[in-house]
Structure 1
Amino acid sequence: MPRQPQSEFPSPVFITETADLEALCARLRMEPFVTIDTEFIRERTYWPELCVVQLGGVGDVAVIDAQAEGIDLASLGALLADPSVVKVFHAARQDVEIFLLMFGATPVPIFDTQVAAMVAGFGDQVGYDALVSALTGAQIDKSHRFSDWSARPLSASQLAYAAADVTHLRSVYKKLLERLTQDGRIDWVEEEMAALTNPGLYQADPEAMWLRLKLRPSGRRQAGLLRAIAAWREREAQRVNIPRGRLVKDEAIPEIAALAPDSVEGLTRARGVTRGFAEGKSGLSLLAAIAAAKALPENELPELAPRERDGPRPSPALLALLRVLLAAKSEEHGVAPRLLASSDDLDRLATEDTPSVPATQGWRRRMFGEDAMALKEGRIALATRGKRIRLVQLGANDTAEDAA
């Protein structure tokens, strides 16, 4: 494919001084949109360590050294909070989380080109380089994808790589906006962007972390232990600033809950728990959390959801039909299946009479949810026409044999 000439974009500048950043942000606040990316490291820490921020405007492309001595990023925060400037990201969640932690608020308004590409028919979670290639014909240099962005000085090739992330993004944004406007899907994207600017999306509740492990406790008492251990891990990982999995691995949590130790010796019986850890500040605080959970009265233990009490399971045949319908609707409308309905949405559609899930709300309901409910209730059927799936309306007198 032809390579987009770099001369179409301004030459990038490297900013290490507060005054230069303030001047840049003042100019960018006069524009309708600005493209943004970040480079950070998180492999060894719980909290992301911001290293570089890239900003792109009509006449400016800048790589900001977020670790430069004495630099004040307040003007960047003001730009991110300016409602008159659209902030354009690709795969925005980690970038938005960083800015929420730094400035106490999410950037507004935002436009995530990865989400927009899913709405526009580019597939599920399309990568930035693939999207740039599809929409502009440019090829992205991947050589610095795994650079250590905390090391200084940054090389000229690193700066060029970082700048490319916001230069090509301008072209991608414009082309996606044009396509979505023509297809009448801008309001769909706006619904998704509203969700991405909700601070609650990025603020993990330690008391709910055990639910992410998708464990199946044998009863409420064990559920209380699982909740306490997972909540302790989240808070302790934040306190010592290491990844939660390096503190205690996921698979160790149910084992510790089963042991329910009340001593250092008991805690060391869990696989992966060293005596040094058990005797240290973290180990002793974990034992205290377990003791507190064991002392909880019955009415303060977690309630188990019906599905966790071996309630009705989705019919495999019905789930298969819903997946076929989802694939057909995705193909018909050119929208990524995952954006229309998640696996949990399909499970709940199959088991609940009136499921309150994203697939039954807003534009998803019109595109998929209404037909999914009609299929489950026997008001429509699936058939083939050539190589495509079509829906067949069933009349009041139509019958079908129940699957055994």
Structure 2
Amino acid sequence: MPEQQNPLKHCIFISLPPSMERDIGDFHVDSSIQIPVQLPDGKTQIDSKTEISFELIVAGMLKVIAFNWEHEHASYYRDFVLAVQPDAPQELTLAAIAQEKKGNYTFAEELFLSVIRLAPQSASFINLATLYSSMATQDSNKGEVYDLYQQKMINILQEGLEVVGEDATLYSEIGFFHLYQGNVELAKEYLDHYLELAEDGEKKKHVQNIMKDINTKLNDDANLMQAYDAIQMNDEEKALVLLASYIKDNPKVWNAWFLKGWALRRLTRFQEAEEALVQALALSKGSSDIYNELALCSLETGKTELAKTYLNTAVDLDDENITLVSNLAYLHLKDGEFDEARKFLEMARVIDPKDPVIIQLMKDYQNQSGETLSSPVVEELVSTEEVITQSKEEHPFFIQGKEETDDIEASFSLEDVER
């Protein structure tokens, strides 16, 4: 196991002779408790009579404190270190900061972990959280390593809150973490606690200003949801009033323009609806819902070909949406474009052959085109080997050649077989 995963593998445990028992201030050295000793670099064993030093004992204890706080004697080791070296937390903090600046993050983590066990204070937990933030940014792709250290960061801040108790600084750090992650409601919860505890000053004023923005955003989001609910309840006029206020403060939010277009389209105000939907399209990466609404507006204003174009794009973005596919099949069937109509009918049948709209469109297709639809066309990829085997069975004198035995794939459909 790598050292980073098993940081205690270079520690051994020894017993002190009873003659070593003594009091150091209020602390009593207990010879019945085994103590950890860190092995010198490059060594796998140590001479207990000549090579054990005070520094190696403290180093071993610090490793246990840092990486195995659940150890049955961890508290004893902590008290031991503080008894013989009372200023250890301050010295370790300075050393950790120095290692962090050098980019020795693993060693800095060990030192910071030791500090929060020796003398847990909000600043100690925040120092370690800041280190984890630096370690996360090393993963520029924001992959697994980034996620790991982001999670470690919030975990250590939460632990600090549990250990230290109500602390304004920890509340603000956790609040800003969630704000950065986009968890606005969680951020508000922790920053509200910060404002309750914080003393007046520039930082508090800064957080108060941020809270104004957060409250505005949350209120705006609530208005957006109310607008959506109003449309669902067939109260489009109310939705438009809510959306006008929202868009005034948030002109770059595409969802709001989409809802406005949707409401206007339902009110048969097609030209205005189309303008709102085009704005939604400009502010977004495009969605099948926007293109579908644009198609409906175009259809209502006599622009059938444009409606088909919009629906084609919608289907490209969401080819499992039976509504979009059936709408496109209907438009082509309506215009007598039977090949295109059949293409999209076949797509729809694969999605849901029992859909009543599709069943009716199939009947309409057969009545208008005079062509009988059989089983759904399903494309199946088969290898050349399978084709050869089948052909041998059907044609015993089939002769193999290089072209027939190459490892390629051919596309066949049930329709091809039937014909």
**TM-score tier after normalising by the smaller chain length:** under 0.3
The alignment's TM-score, normalised by the length of structure 2, stands at 0.21
The alignment's TM-score, normalised by the length of structure 1, stands at 0.21
Q: Which has the higher strand share?
A: 1
Larger RCO, structure (CA 8 Å, separation 6 or more): 1
